[in-house]
Amino acid sequence: MIAALRTLKAQQPLELIVAVPVASPDRLAQVRHECDEAVCLLEAPDLHAVAEYYQDFTQVEDAEV
């Protein structure tokens, strides 16, 4: 995400906003330095995997994508 934000920032958008459903506070702090605003529904200090916060996190096959 940091790489994507830096690439977008180089294009000089009027505003750069990030929205994520869940993130660890330390990573969210890093993201906030790269954008104008970061919205996160749940800051999870013990985050190990995003999939832990979903009832169904079934993988999507490449062909479906």
Amino acid at position 51, single letter: A
* Two tokens, residue 27: 């990573």
The predicted structure's pLDDT at residue 9: 96
Name the residue type at position 25: P
Prediction pTM value = 0.76
**Mean pLDDT value across residues 1-14:** 96
**How is residue 64 annotated by DSSP?**
T
How long a stretch of residues is the chain? Answer: 65
What confidence score (pLDDT) does residue 65 get?
Answer: 87
Q: In the structure, what pLDDT confidence band is assigned to residue 47 with cuts at 50, 70 and 90?
A: very high
26 has a pLDDT exceeding 90: yes
